[in-house]
Structure 1
Amino acid sequence: MLSIFDEIPARERVIVALDCSRDEALSLSEALRGHATWLKVGMTLYYSCGPSIVSELREKGFKVFLDLKLHDIPHQVRGAAEAAARSGADMLTMHVAGGPEMLEAGRAGAAAGSAERGEDGIVTLGITVLTSMDASALSSVGVPRAPEEQVALLADVAKQAGISGVVASPREAAALRSILGEYAYIVTPGVRPEGSEKGDQSRVSTPSEAFRAGASHIVVGRPITQAKDPVQAFERICGEIA
């Protein structure tokens, strides 16, 4: 199924994950300036630096995917989402497992934070099943369904809550595109270029496979950030997709 993202250049759909120290993140951002559009700030970097790292990366001209995976009572998630949007985040994650009320609160908070900074809104994404988890891992926490079944169930919850899209592995992207439609964001971590190590990921795919399946954006970390030449690695991935 086609999506509105299919005509967007690859370099605007590859999100580079900065799961590292502040100094390394700023060094990588300088190197990738003029090449990458999106950078991901996850828990490691955010908890070390706080909201200032979002502002710094935005000032360099990047869009920031703030991947904090919010999961709490609706009141707390609303406040956290509002603060995240106010800090300059362009994309924010929260766990779908928190339920529809929590997702709706997060969406409202994000909209309010964006309005405070004079913008229309940020992309709100629901975390479905972490790409490090397989059927055995789900079973160990009481989920009897296979990963793809659990992802589909949670994606429908996210859709009903009115958020922008979901995060899931590339292996579920095609099914998600059918469930969520052409306008939904489907962001896929667990993406590894040909020949890369899987690391701690279980459900992986190559960049081109992820986009063919229906992903709107992919997240790539170590294959770029730990490469001898991160810019060359980024450009190689964009070239592979093209």
Structure 2
Amino acid sequence: MNTQPIIALDFSSKKEVFAFLTQFNEPLFVKVGMELYLQEGPSIIKEIKAMGHAIFLDLKLHDIPNTVKSAMRGLAKLGVDLINVHAAGGSRMMTAALEGLEEGTVAGQRRPALIAVTQLTSTTEEQMQQEQNIMTSLDASVINYAILAKNAGLDGVVCSVLEAHDIEKACGKAFLKVTPGIRLVGGEAHDQKRVATPNFAKEQGATQIVVGRAIVQAENPVVAYHTVEQLWGGNQ
């Protein structure tokens, strides 16, 4: 699996995306989320892929198993590299998602890696307990979701850096730990609650990091990206 820092393309239009991407003279690993995908549709995926970039399609599917399976069957045809669901959808939904991806992947191509969102990095333990009525620790909830995802055959999870080490112990080193909420020292947390620097993420066992504002809102995004890449450790 590609270990480059994943750049979150948190833009609302194709024009903004390509104005950003044309600043780079190298293949990137980028994240296309709901805002961009719903504004521009599948064509944005094809155009970014044509530029040679890897894509994490971050749609966080969460529905009944049959619906998610059918959706994944269609999304597999886009040829993205990584895609996700919400672990809260349960084991049957996650298994169905995997089946849909396998059925929809074009012959001769690699199936997109499938990961499950555990608890959003904007969620605090207090919020989880009060609003989701999950009366355990945040860490225990995340580990439980990670084990469910692994047992369902998924390739990994989305988690915060703070849970990556415990997930590695529970699910193994090869299990993907994709960690958003990455900031450079002195950067603002914004709406994220569980944040970390790239080097700390690596120390904790994260396998991929997702970086948004620290790069896309930087005065010089290319320099910011290479700073993050250096701190993260490149493709090692």
Q: Distance between the aligned counterparts of 1:209 and 1:13, measured in 2?
A: 16
- Is 2:19 the counterpart of 1:27? yes
Aligned counterpart in structure 1 of residue 200 of structure 2, from 209, 213, 230 = 209
Query: Which residue does 1:238 correspond to in 2?
Result: 229
Matched to 1:183, the amino acid is A
Map residues 20-169 of structure 1 onto 2, 5 A cutoff.
20=11, 21-34=13-26, 37-114=28-105, 116=106, 118-139=108-129, 140-169=131-160
8 A Cα contact 1:96 1:154, kept in partner: yes
Q: Distance between the aligned counterparts of 1:188 and 1:241, measured in 2?
A: 12
Once the two structures are superposed, what CA deviation does each residue of 1:13-35 show, in whole Å capped at 9, x if it has no partner?
2000001122111121222340x
* TM-score for the superposition, normalised by structure 1: 0.92
Superposed displacement of residue 185, structure 1: 1.1
Q: Distance between the aligned counterparts of 1:92 and 1:186, measured in 2?
A: 13
Q: Distance between the aligned counterparts of 2:104 and 2:155, measured in 1?
A: 16
Q: Distance between the aligned counterparts of 2:136 and 2:41, measured in 1?
A: 37
Once the two structures are superposed, what CA deviation does each residue of 1:151-196 show, in whole Å capped at 9, x if it has no partner?
0010110011001000000000100111111211110001111111
Query: Which residue does 2:166 correspond to in 1?
Result: 175
* TM-score for the superposition, normalised by structure 2: 0.94
Q: Give the aligned length.
A: 231
Map residues 210-225 of structure 1 onto 2, 5 A cutoff.
210-225=201-216
Once the two structures are superposed, what CA deviation does each residue of 1:29-82 show, in whole Å capped at 9, x if it has no partner?
222340x53100000100001111111111000110000000001111011112
Where does structure 1 lack aligned partners over 5 or more consecutive residues?
none
Q: Distance between the aligned counterparts of 2:24 and 2:136, measured in 1?
A: 40
Matched to 2:184, the amino acid is P
Matched to 2:108, the amino acid is G
Q: Distance between the aligned counterparts of 2:28 and 2:170, measured in 1?
A: 27
State the superposition RMSD in angstroms.
1.3
Q: Distance between the aligned counterparts of 2:165 and 2:51, measured in 1?
A: 34
Superposed displacement of residue 96, structure 1: 0.6
8 A Cα contact 2:5 2:232, kept in partner: no
Q: Distance between the aligned counterparts of 2:53 and 2:24, measured in 1?
A: 10
